[in-house]
Amino acid sequence: MRRALVLAVAVLASGCAGSTTPFLLEGDAKSAVVKYSGDIGATYAIARRHCARYERVAKLTGRDLDTAYFACVRP
């Protein structure tokens, strides 16, 4: 019984762990907001790809503990 309980807790805990892959939270032609965990460097590629859709380049304007803010500016 105890073994099953420990296994269940381990499975639930692994499911609650947040994703380490950065992702675009929101964005438009003027900005991009990227959520991340760990290395902020991984957010640049996502912001660059997003801004490129509008023929713009990404410029980091700020960051929080887990959020990077970019402006999409004309080159």
Q: Where along the chain do its domains lie?
A: 19-73
The tokens describing 37, both together, are 């965990």
pLDDT score at 18: 56
Q: For the segment 6-18, what is each residue's pLDDT rounded down to a tens digit?
A: 334 443 444 444 5
User: pTM (2 decimals)?
Assistant: 0.73
Give all strands of the β-sheet with 67-73 in edge-to-edge order.
23-27, 31-35, 67-73, 57-63
Residue 3 clears pLDDT 60, i.e. is over it: no
Q: 73: closest CA among 62, 64, 54?
A: 54
